[in-house]
Structure 1
Amino acid sequence: MPPSPPNDDLGTHHVSNQPMPQLSRDLWANDIALRGAIARNGGRADDLAAAGAVYGSAEMRQAAQEARRDPPRLIAFDRTGRRRDEVAYNQGYHHCLRVGAQQGYASVAWDGRPGGHVTHAAQVYMLSQVEPGTCCPLTMTYAAVPALRADANLAALWQPRLTAPDYDPSLCPVDQKHAATMGMAMTEKQGGSDVRANTTRARRDGDIYRLTGHKWFCSAPMSDGFLTLAYTDEGLTCFLVPRWLDGTRNTIRLRRLKDKLGNRANASAEIEYIDALAHRLGDEGAGVRTIIEMVHHTRLDTAIAPAGLMRAALSEAHWWVNGRKAFQRRLIDQPLMRTVLADLALDWEGALAAGLAMARAFDGPGAENRALARIGVALVKFLNNKRCVPVVAEAMEVLGGMGYIEETPMPMLYREAPLNGIWEGSGNVICLDILRTLAREPLAGAVLNHALDAARGANRHYDRALENHRARWPDLAGESEARWFAESLGTLLTMATLIETAPNAISDGYAATRLSGARGLVPGSVTGLDTDAILSRLG
């Protein structure tokens, strides 16, 4: 039953000029840009229509709010002093995770039907708008599947459960579950992104291994298993560490939960392996090569998630300006406001288009698509996340003081905005990875150049910017210019995608403001945009 309308006659005053909150919003039906991108990139519209209605429902939004309001709690011991090493979550968290799993967030990419990765990426985009914290365990579950191909026996046990479109939070060994989740624990305090500085050790114990060491970050510590790295005598090696054994807990100690800026509904922990049972995944000494498949797929999600955060912030801002008046005019009718929102919307449109185009490369067959996915997802992850923070901040400002109030979604979105730029490779790591990929994999450069050249002739700003880029860097940039190089390439790749897929108002506006240099430094310091056409797509 829908809630009764609140009373707006408060005796001392009548509540007016305050738009009624959006209790539900269909994330598919109300997103013309998403629907068009899915049609062009081969995603599954029927599946996403169902998911968008559920994700945007009032029930889902309420569950998400409860999951954030009542954050996870570490239960290290029970009342008798026996170890528990568990995390207690609000039921809203379990609800969001169950809905995401049942809608196919972690499974659609692996069911053998066309368009799986595009459909998955669209799910990331939509769920990120409602409860980004639950995206983390679902993303790692999705991304673990290709890494498991390094061991047929482990894949046979784990893959059917990781790809089951359901959620099973029961505490028992994986062979007793119908669905499972997978986490990841690589980072150690002394090394960070430099995993070769890790000190966790693995010793052989018959057909298994025993791990001892400390991990500085382990997201989703209640997952059924974890992919992790540890040293054997042969070098850094990848392992799968199950959380439950036959009737007993594996010796994975949860030392504390991280008190994070955002991602409040999701637990991130420091953990210790104390002679923990582990199964080797891949050859000894090949740990980075094995786990990089998981990292590669999680990067797709961190590339598309900022588009979802931008979309959510702009939707809220657009709703506000349509229902709010100032100085006898609706905010949406004021030229400066329209220019600001239209300028911000171009970053969202570009992020969505480029993210789904890279997901299409993940779906495509052959070495060329794989190479494009490898270089393209790094470029898109870098650029989308660098644009996300200012877009969300400006959208928050549109609401004035209300945007700073926790009763609106804006503070949550603002706290989430930097996250995907840090996880799975921060900005400098990604830029250096881009340089390495182009230096070591000639096919990656070739397919990227082909994509860029295919867009020539449609927009003079693009053509000139591409020529300027190649004149500035006839080969690779030096390390000190890696960010400039990556930003330039990422912007060109985004524009090439918009030329292929977007209406002229979007692609021409993006080129004129992002590639020509004819703008100021802050959002909204532009001119000449077709604001009517751009804002009509915000819905």
Structure 2
Amino acid sequence: MERAHRPGTSHEVTNQAPPLAGYNLFTTDAALMESLARAGAGWHREALERDGARLGTAEVIALADLANRHPPELFTHSPRGERIDALEFHPAWHRLLALLRAEGLHALPFSNPQPGAMAARCAGYFLHAQIESGALCPTTMTFASIPVLRREHALFETLRERLYAREHDPRDLPWQQKTSMMIGMGMTEKQGGSDVRSNRTEAHAAATTTGAATGRGAGYRLTGHKWFLSAPQCDAHLVLARSGAHDGLSCFFVPRFAPDGTKNAVNVLRLKNKLGNRSNASSEVEFFDAYGVMIGDEGRGVQTIIEMTNYTRLDCVIGSAALMRASLVEAIHHARHRSAFGRLLADQPLMQNVLADLALESEAATVLFMRLAHAFEEDAGAHGTQHVAQSPEERAWRRIVTPAAKFWVCKRAIAFTGEAMEVWGGNGYVEEGPMARLYREAPVNSIWEGSGNVMCLDVLRALEREADAAQALFLAWRREAQGHPVLTAALDRLSALLNGAPGTREASARHIAQQIVLIAQALLLREGPQEVADAFIATRLGERDGDGNGNCGRVAGTLPARFDHAALVARAFPAI
């Protein structure tokens, strides 16, 4: 029978996947739940289950879309001509920050130190990072500033309550008048980028009625320029500037408002028009005799702030792992609801291969950042203000594996999100869906806090300076790899790279970092289901090309047929 034609219509909407919503981000992630239990953070499981359910609601998912479609606006002057440098955000941005803050993701291991606290925080951060990336920036910087600021006992006592507070206070007031505060950082200048030692911003001791005190805890006036100042709306920033007779770099706590309550002379010249991370404000600023307090010893600014960047690099790994997870879940969901050539995509063998391969990569990234969390917890940061000496092996995980992971996981996320977008076809390439934003977010973590080359060179430096720690780590890995020929051969190849001619090591730095991460991931995956570990090891470390390099640069979807692709996909994201 011929259907009656309805005027004004030409087709019915069919074979379109429904938006992904109404699922629990935590309870649908077996790898994360298992890693949390191994980390001894089961006490936080109930909170993560509750948060995972809330984040998966259509309401919260919509907040992410709104915050990125309505980026912040800068207003440099008031109607009366006063310099205000005010930023206006969509209400969705503040709601996202409030959700992050309520879960303690800006301070949890420090405000509530106990075994597993760092893993608990990393797991929660991972959940939120799957929904929206921009709000993570001020959260990460606030979190990373705490171990640095705690060394400034007098200053920290005045900040502690507001740094630990779980309420988001969006008011633009001096921090002393607020219930909570956020901390940012400013290192990058246009002539240097990652080479902060070329910075030119200057700091001079502030004149007082009793003279000009200098050094740690003293007030200074800063003059200069920062090419990138993250989240200029923060209540204070940690800034590098030159000071003292030797003109060395020192670190300064620069509040948004001066001690007399007036706006500090940190003028926001413009907001950066970025590829992604659009909900978050990144700025170019100029200091005109801005007030700041020196923290750390004079001339030791790089060493002071490097502790902060170590934590932010860990968050880069988590953020990229979260983009992988979010892209994977969206791809699986789409494939389960989209048909082509008479079958659901998810039932087609080649698509199952692609999704299973992506699932392996995602799980490897998850177990890696959760293992790194333990290394950071064993450091003084998660044990109050008392210093706790780290074992050499844990020091190696923190100092060597972290920059390697920052290089590799962040780099892989770029290709990963592109592959997941392709699962969606043309629907993935339009801004109305989630995939375009995930894809545009992916490069930022690979660039921020040190590009890939910077990370790999840092790995080489750490191997040289922490030789005892490196030896302890590699010996432990040898013991764990006993009886497994593929892992043993991979460790042999790593040793050959490290023992090669000194002149070749720098050129091989990426290969070295890559091998470190893949071995670490392979060993960690052996703590989970054997099928997952076997498939990862065989395809990332077992397959060799003509040069003897790992086949990890291959495209997704080339898993051998002997592995159960459908089972790997089902483990990654159960049907909802």
TM-score interval, normalised by the smaller of the two chains: over 0.9
Question: Considering only CA atoms, is the larger Rg found in Structure 1 or Structure 2?
Answer: 2
Q: Secondary structure at the match of 2:150?
A: helix
**Aligned equivalents of 1:459 and 1:12: distance in 2?**
61
**Aligned equivalents of 2:238 and 2:554: distance in 1?**
43
Q: Secondary structure at the match of 1:399?
A: helix
**Aligned equivalents of 2:472 and 2:516: distance in 1?**
13
**Aligned equivalents of 1:422 and 1:159: distance in 2?**
31
**Aligned equivalents of 1:418 and 1:447: distance in 2?**
33
- Contact 1:226/1:242 (8 A) holds in 2: yes
Note the 1:495-514 alignment, pairs <5 A: 495-499=522-526, 501-514=527-540
Corresponding position of 2:382: none
CA shift for structure 1 position 480? 0.9
Q: Secondary structure at the match of 1:97?
A: helix
- Contact 2:228/2:284 (8 A) holds in 1: yes
Corresponding position of 1:6: none
Structure 1 letter corresponding to 2:509: A
- Do the aligned partners of residues 32 and 85 (structure 1) sit closer, same or farther apart at CA in structure 2, a change above 3 Å counting? same
Corresponding position of 1:32: 30
Q: Secondary structure at the match of 2:240?
A: strand
Counterpart check, 1:490 vs 2:517: yes
Note the 1:78-117 alignment, pairs <5 A: 78-110=78-110, 111-117=112-118
- Contact 1:148/1:159 (8 A) holds in 2: no
Structure 2 letter corresponding to 1:240: F
**Aligned equivalents of 2:105 and 2:8: distance in 1?**
44
Corresponding position of 1:517: 543
Counterpart check, 1:386 vs 2:411: yes
Corresponding position of 2:506: 479
**Aligned equivalents of 2:497 and 2:459: distance in 1?**
17
Which whole-Å deviations, capped at 9, do the CAs of 1:260-281 have from their partners, x for residues lacking one? Answer: 0000100000011110000000
Counterpart check, 1:306 vs 2:320: yes
Q: Which segment is superposed worse, 457-466 or 231-240?
A: 457-466
- Contact 1:225/1:241 (8 A) holds in 2: yes
CA shift for structure 1 position 448? 2.3
**Aligned equivalents of 1:495 and 1:366: distance in 2?**
28
Corresponding position of 1:530: 564
Corresponding position of 2:370: 356
**Aligned equivalents of 1:442 and 1:161: distance in 2?**
40
**Aligned equivalents of 2:144 and 2:8: distance in 1?**
52
Corresponding position of 1:341: 355
**In the alignment, which of 287, 298, 311 is matched to residue 301 of structure 2?**
287
CA shift for structure 1 position 170? 1.5
Q: TM-score, normalised by structure 2?
A: 0.89
**Aligned equivalents of 2:100 and 2:197: distance in 1?**
34
CA shift for structure 1 position 324? 1.1
Note the 1:364-375 alignment, pairs <5 A: 364=378, 366-368=389-391, 369-375=394-400
Counterpart check, 1:241 vs 2:241: no
Which whole-Å deviations, capped at 9, do the CAs of 1:206-264 have from their partners, x for residues lacking one? Answer: 34100000000011110000001000124110000000234311111000000000001
Structure 1 letter corresponding to 2:568: I
% of aligned pairs identical?
Answer: 42
Q: Which segment is superposed worse, 428-437 or 488-497?
A: 488-497
Corresponding position of 1:228: 239
**In the alignment, which of 446, 450, 464 is matched to residue 439 of structure 1?**
464
- Contact 1:451/1:493 (8 A) holds in 2: no
Which whole-Å deviations, capped at 9, do the CAs of 1:474-499 have from their partners, x for residues lacking one? Answer: 36761111111111111111111112
**Aligned equivalents of 2:571 and 2:483: distance in 1?**
22
**Aligned equivalents of 1:395 and 1:10: distance in 2?**
36
Structure 1's consecutive aligned runs of 4 or more residues displaced over 6 angstroms after TM superposition are none
**Aligned equivalents of 1:382 and 1:122: distance in 2?**
20
**Aligned equivalents of 1:471 and 1:512: distance in 2?**
21
CA shift for structure 1 position 399? 0.6
Corresponding position of 2:215: none
Corresponding position of 2:491: 466
Corresponding position of 1:182: 183
Number of equivalenced pairs: 530
**Aligned equivalents of 2:257 and 2:371: distance in 1?**
39
Q: Secondary structure at the match of 1:265?
A: coil
**Aligned equivalents of 1:38 and 1:319: distance in 2?**
25
- Do the aligned partners of residues 444 and 251 (structure 1) sit closer, same or farther apart at CA in structure 2, a change above 3 Å counting? same
Q: Secondary structure at the match of 1:256?
A: strand
Structure 1 letter corresponding to 2:236: G
Q: Which segment is superposed worse, 455-464 or 377-386?
A: 455-464
CA shift for structure 1 position 10? 8.6
Q: Which segment is superposed worse, 298-307 or 468-477?
A: 468-477
Structure 1 letter corresponding to 2:169: D
Corresponding position of 1:270: 284
**Aligned equivalents of 1:96 and 1:45: distance in 2?**
21
- Contact 2:535/2:559 (8 A) holds in 1: no
Q: Secondary structure at the match of 1:444?
A: helix
Which whole-Å deviations, capped at 9, do the CAs of 1:121-152 have from their partners, x for residues lacking one? Answer: 11221111111000000000000001113311
- Contact 2:497/2:512 (8 A) holds in 1: no
Structure 2 letter corresponding to 1:523: A
Structure 1 letter corresponding to 2:389: G
Corresponding position of 1:161: 162
**Aligned equivalents of 2:134 and 2:563: distance in 1?**
35
CA shift for structure 1 position 11? 4.3
**Aligned equivalents of 2:345 and 2:334: distance in 1?**
8
Corresponding position of 1:406: 431
- Contact 2:459/2:513 (8 A) holds in 1: yes
Counterpart check, 1:214 vs 2:240: no
**Aligned equivalents of 1:459 and 1:104: distance in 2?**
41
Structure 1 letter corresponding to 2:37: A
- Contact 1:24/1:61 (8 A) holds in 2: no
Q: Secondary structure at the match of 1:344?
A: helix
Gaps of 5+ in 1: 1-8
Note the 1:40-51 alignment, pairs <5 A: 40-43=38-41, 44-51=44-51
CA shift for structure 1 position 458? 5.6
Q: Secondary structure at the match of 1:253?
A: strand
CA shift for structure 1 position 420? 0.6
CA shift for structure 1 position 532? 2.6
CA shift for structure 1 position 471? 2.9
Note the 1:4-43 alignment, pairs <5 A: 11-43=9-41
- Contact 2:102/2:166 (8 A) holds in 1: yes
**Aligned equivalents of 1:183 and 1:352: distance in 2?**
26
Corresponding position of 1:4: none
Q: Secondary structure at the match of 1:133?
A: coil
Q: Secondary structure at the match of 1:455?
A: helix
- Do the aligned partners of residues 444 and 303 (structure 1) sit closer, same or farther apart at CA in structure 2, a change above 3 Å counting? farther
